[in-house]
């Protein structure tokens, strides 16, 4: 998923896939995220509007010193 979040045009496809997975079960969605552009944060708003809530559960130092955030989410 990390290769997808920097490309905001792919958000609808990613969200559609996650929502389909949620229909067949209750998956825990976990991903690492390293911000490249502030517009990428729109992902969280888009997911929440569709009923998927994410919480940041950790953070680690990434390459070059920029933090890599660890997020977990699930459908309400």
Structure tokens at 45: 């708003």
Whole-angstrom distance, CA of residue 47 vs CA of residue 40: 12
pLDDT confidence tier of residue 36, bands split at 50, 70 and 90: confident
| Per-residue model confidence (pLDDT) at position 47 | 95
- pTM more than 0.85: no
Cα dihedral 45/47/48/50 (nearest 10): 130
| Per-residue model confidence (pLDDT) at position 65 | 82
| Per-residue model confidence (pLDDT) at position 53 | 96
At 28 the three-state DSSP class reads coil
Whole-angstrom distance, CA of residue 50 vs CA of residue 19: 8
């Amino acid at each position: 998923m990390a290769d997808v979040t920097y490309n905001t045009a792919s958000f609808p496809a990613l969200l559609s896939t996650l929502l389909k997975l949620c229909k067949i079960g209750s998956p825990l969605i976990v991903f690492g995220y390293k911000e490249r552009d502030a517009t990428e944060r729109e992902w969280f708003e888009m997911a929440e509007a569709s009923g998927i809530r994410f919480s940041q559960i950790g953070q680690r130092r990434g390459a070059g010193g920029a933090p890599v955030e660890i997020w977990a989410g699930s459908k309400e």
